[in-house]
Every structure is written in structure tokens, then in C-alpha cells.
Structure 1
Amino acid sequence: MNIKKISLVVATTLVFGGSVSGLNLTKPALAAHSNVHDINILPYKISEELTRKIEGASTSDVFSVIVSFNKMLNKEDYTKLEKEIGEFSRRYTYDSVISGFAGDLTKEQILLLNKNAFVTLIDLDQIVTNYDDIIVESTFSKDKNGWIGGFSDYPYKDKLHYKLRFSLKLLPKEINNKQKGLYLSGYNGSDDLFMFVKKKLDTNDRLKPNTKYSVTFDFDIATNAGDKMGVGGSPGESVFVKIGASNTEPIPFIDKTGFYLMNIDKGNQKEEGKDAFMIGDLAKMTIDKKYELKPFNNKQRPFIVETDKKGELWLFIGTDSAFEGVTSIYYPRIKVTLKEVKE
């Protein structure tokens, strides 16, 4: 059973199975002296567990939640809702048995939703997690969450010319200027620039030594690549998005010619390697210069990787460019699910 199905079952049970009262949705005693605003609004729709999470958090901190409604919402309703509370990320939308969504909201947005007449429940999304899965989820509300940025496929002597940048940065205002993301930017003077983020996992994340796992990525990229034409190729369609995993840390090294290359096999541009899949490109639907979120996942083609003898492996996401210009992108959300492969 996949996570979407589990979410639907749990959400249906919460709304229609008579278990809402069991979640202690009346004002929790622990919040009586907290800094959670408007705590006395009745009925209180935020679960006790979520209340504990947001208590003491800043208004801009982001939480993964499930929100249920007492009516079905269409596209126009969601647009109106975003005008009221601000833009937010929806991973799943439920519009059959129940109405609602699973997504990411700031504390401020959660408190605003609590006032909404057609909201029936706001709860943590983590209750639907299958314990057998190892889920690594980052929303970058406070820090980089262990993700490290890197660049390869460019000459060392021209490093400054490439204007390589990696940081935690507020998203563009047209996306959400209260939310942060991993920011990467670089000029592709070599016609082959690779920009990537990586994260190490080990036994602290419940990985086992010398064990095979299937790895699925689910993430968004904020891209402004709307033009169809550019030097060397399109700034969107010629910048290829790749995902991968390896028990060797992905590290750029300098070859004999003074060129930075990767020590793992990621392939070249749209060509795949044994350590990486190509799952799309940066092209967005509109042709303006504004940023928009583009979702990516490899759920139909999980990546298989084996941990080393210490139970370690590295995850990475990157863009392999054939566009001879500047590419600047943001990763506001990365979710990776690992399942042990039984042989």
C-alpha cells in the first residue's frame, strides 16, 4: 500500500469513522499558556499532537499536515484559499470519499485555517507513515537539513567566471517569500555544468549494512526557465534533472587537464549513468521570467542501491546542463523514501 492510499484511509477514518473526538481536538491544556495565537477559538480544529509541534515555533516554520474539509473544493476554491492564507504546497489532494489535502503549511497558515468555517481537521501528516519505510523529508524552514551543495564539469582555472552559488535562501516572492529553499546558481561556460545537492544517510536513519534499498525521490524545483531558445540549447529543455544514490560520496575531483569531474557515474547531460537516472528537465509551462514550482518523482522507476559495510549511502539530486547561460534554481522540499529490497 503506498503512502497516498494510507493517507486516504487514515483521513477517511478521522472524518467519517467517529475518531475525531479521540484526537482531543478541544483546546489542549498544554496550550493554555503557549504562544499559539487565537487558541481560544472554538471549535478548535488543530490536533493535540500538531499543537505540541507548533507551540514555541516561529510563524514561518513549516509543518507537514493533513487538512480535511466539510465540503468538496474545486480549483477556484483552492485559489481563493491561497489568497486568504498565502500559497502552500499540496502533495496530495483528496476529492472523492473526502475533501482535503496533504501538504506543507507554515504555523501562521495553520492558525489562519483554524478560523476557516469549512475546515474540520488539521493534523500532522506523519501519522500515515509506514514504519517499514525509511522516509527522509526536508522543508528547509530553519537550515539545510544536512544537504550539501556541489558543482562539477567545469575548468578549475575559470572557477570565478562560473559564479557558482549554493545557500539557504528565501524563495522568489511569486512562489512564497516566507519559505526558504536550497539555492543553486551557476554560469554554464563549459556547456556541461552539473549542479547538485547531496545528503548522507547511515544507521542512525535505520539503514542496515550491506543491504539493498529501493529509493524514490519526490521533490519540487522552483524554476524560471520558460524560454525555448538559448545559447547551446534551451534554458529549460536542455537542463536535465537527475536523481541518484551511491554508497560512495559524490565528490568533484580535478582530472589531469584541470577539469572538475564527478567521482561517480552520473552520465552526461541527458545520458544516464549507473549511479543516476534522468527524470525530467527544468522547462516550465509559461514563457515569462517568473519562477514556478515544478514537481519531480521517480515513483514508477525506483533507484536500487546497496549500503556499504557501515550502513552508509549518499542521496543526490542534480541538473546536468547543455544551456550555455546562467541557471538559478531552488529546492523548497525534498522527500526520499527507502524500502528494503527482500531477496
Structure 2
Amino acid sequence: MSVTQRVSLLFFVLLGAVACNRDDVTPALPLTGVLYESNFSAGTDGWKADFTDYSTANGDMQLRSDWTRLPQPLDSTRRSIMLSGMNRSDDLFMYLTRSLSGLQPNHDYKLVFDIELASQYATNSFGIGGSPGGSVYVKAGASSTEPKRQLVDDFYEINLDKGNQAEGGKDMLVLGNIGAGEDVEQYTLIKRSNTDAPLTVRSDSNGRIWLIVGTDSGHEGLTTLYYSHIKVTAL
């Protein structure tokens, strides 16, 4: 083998070694324990926002999402993902979703979601159509199908079974509402979990699932929430 051939061979061996250690190679996740956790300090961490359960005829829904600081009087050095919308349809679903890879392919996982978010809505408050705090329901779930918004006739809906408002579905469970306590008038951190009712999801043949968290609203008004921490644990 010539010197030139030996140099070329060494180059390709080193190139292969670098490729095997690239940052985009997905590490294997455990079968049990914490599969995912983020407080969004460095960004949205791959979560994407979307909105469904409204008609094209509903007009301006004031739909917004942003990676931003927690609102006052909370610790403004902490970051969060903000979702906001005007529920003109009396059924607005605001959600975040991201993929999770590195799982065992075609394996059933029992998942517990621990979610922290900032809400300014009192549990016992009154509003049009329903309570701003008591009638907006926190949901979490997972699927081997990517959650997507789809237009059916003139209505935007999601391609998963999330249930409706106070009821869960095959792909999502109700973790509670966004009520931050009695007579609350400022943003307060609240925590919601499905510890007592884990959600079972099967990973796809590539060892991937899609996580989804959001709120299903029965309050016909503006709701603005800040997601500050999400943890997903497999039992």
C-alpha cells in the first residue's frame, strides 16, 4: 500500500470515528426513570406550539406563543414557554409537542408527566361559558403519531384522541385545571401531574414517541399561560 493510500485510509477511519461521536446521535434512554426534563432555561428545547378546536369563521383568536421570562411577580430570571389565545370557539386547545427518541422500539411505556406552569386564574372565578380557572383543563399525553393540526371542512382539529375539555382521550389524560387557588389575582406557579393514572404509550419501530402537553378550554375569554418545567418519567 502506497503512502498516499495509507493516508487516505487513515482519513476515512478518523472521519468515521468523528461521525460516531456526533452530537446528533440519539443516546439510548432507560426503560424506567426520567426520560425527559427541561426548565427551558436555554430555549424551547424542541417544543413546538400549535392551536386547534376552532373554526376559520371564529375571527381573530389572538393566538400567540413565545419563549420568554416568567411574568411578575414571579422570578423573572427564569424562562418559560408562553401560550395565549382568545377562546372564541368555546373549545380552544393550546398545546406544545416534541419528539422523544432513543426509546426501545415497539415497547410499551407507562408515563407520568409533572408539569409546572404559571397561571393567574382563580379556581372559583366566574367567566363567559365557564370559569377562567376551573374550566380550562391541563392535559398531557404521548403517541407514536406526530400530533398535527388538520383542517376538516372549516374546523381546525388535532389528529389525536385528546378527549374534550374535562374528559381525556386515548392519547391524553386530564391532569387538573389551571385554577391557581381561591381569589388569586396574580401569576402563581402551579403543578399538575398524573402520578395516580400513568399513560401507556407504545414507541414506534424507530424507538420514538411524541410528547404533548396543553390546555383544553371551556372559558370563552383570553387565557395566557407560561410553562416553566416539564418532566416525563417511565414507571
- Tell me what 2:218 maps to: 322
Q: Distance in 1 between matches of 2:108 and 2:32?
A: 14
| Matched-pair contact (CA < 8 Å) for 2:31–2:104 | no
| Higher-helix-fraction structure | 1
- Tell me what 2:95 maps to: 196
Deviation of the 1:338 alpha carbon: 2.1
| Matched-pair contact (CA < 8 Å) for 2:32–2:233 | no
- Tell me what 1:240 maps to: 137
CA deviation digits over 1:247-302, x for unaligned, max 9?
A: 0011110002x110010000111111111111100111142420001111111111
- Tell me what 2:48 maps to: 148
Does residue 68 of structure 2 align to residue 169 of structure 1?
yes
| Higher-strand-fraction structure | 2
| Matched-pair contact (CA < 8 Å) for 2:58–2:89 | no
- Tell me what 1:334 maps to: 230
Q: Distance in 2 between matches of 1:145 and 1:246?
A: 19
2:86 to 175, 187, 190: 187
Deviation of the 1:158 alpha carbon: 3.9
Deviation of the 1:309 alpha carbon: 1.1
Deviation of the 1:134 alpha carbon: 4.0
Alignment of 1:218-257 (within 5 A): 218-226=114-122, 228-256=125-153
Give the structure-1-normalised TM-score: 0.58
Q: Distance in 1 between matches of 2:170 and 2:101?
A: 21
| Matched-pair contact (CA < 8 Å) for 1:223–1:330 | yes
CA deviation digits over 1:157-207, x for unaligned, max 9?
A: 446x1010111011012111111101000000000000011110112xxx0
Q: Distance in 1 between matches of 2:67 and 2:172?
A: 24
Code of the residue aligned with 2:166 in structure 1: it is: K
- Tell me what 1:112 maps to: none
Q: Distance in 2 between matches of 1:305 and 1:142?
A: 28
**What is the DSSP-based 3-state SS (H/G/I as helix, E as strand, rest coil) of the residue aligned with 1:318?**
strand
Identical aligned residues as a percent = 40
| Matched-pair contact (CA < 8 Å) for 2:53–2:156 | yes
Code of the residue aligned with 2:141 in structure 1: it is: G
Code of the residue aligned with 2:142 in structure 1: it is: A
**What is the DSSP-based 3-state SS (H/G/I as helix, E as strand, rest coil) of the residue aligned with 1:178?**
coil
Does residue 111 of structure 2 align to residue 211 of structure 1?
no
> Aligned in 2, Cα 1:306/1:250: closer, same or farther, shift over 3 Å?
same
Q: Distance in 1 between matches of 2:34 and 2:73?
A: 33
Code of the residue aligned with 1:249 in structure 2: it is: E
Code of the residue aligned with 1:175 in structure 2: it is: L
Alignment of 1:48-59 (within 5 A): none
Aligned residue pairs: how many? 205
RMSD across aligned C-alpha pairs, in angstroms?
1.5
Alignment of 1:20-169 (within 5 A): 132-158=32-58, 161-169=60-68
**Deviation beyond 6 Å, 4+ runs, structure 1:** none
Q: Distance in 1 between matches of 2:115 and 2:173?
A: 15
Code of the residue aligned with 1:137 in structure 2: it is: E
Q: Distance in 1 between matches of 2:141 and 2:31?
A: 23
- Tell me what 1:23 maps to: none
| Matched-pair contact (CA < 8 Å) for 2:31–2:234 | no
Q: Distance in 2 between matches of 1:201 and 1:156?
A: 32
CA deviation digits over 1:84-143, x for unaligned, max 9?
A: xxxxxxxxxxxxxxxxxxxxxxxxxxxxxxxxxxxxxxxxxxxxxx88524311111110
**What is the DSSP-based 3-state SS (H/G/I as helix, E as strand, rest coil) of the residue aligned with 2:74?**
helix
Q: Distance in 2 between matches of 1:248 and 1:229?
A: 37
Give the structure-2-normalised TM-score: 0.83
Q: Distance in 1 between matches of 2:216 and 2:104?
A: 31
Q: Distance in 2 between matches of 1:298 and 1:234?
A: 22
Structure with the bigger RCO (C-alpha within 8 Å, sep 6+) is 2
| Matched-pair contact (CA < 8 Å) for 1:156–1:254 | no
- For structure 2, the 5+ residue unaligned runs are 1-29
Code of the residue aligned with 1:240 in structure 2: it is: Y
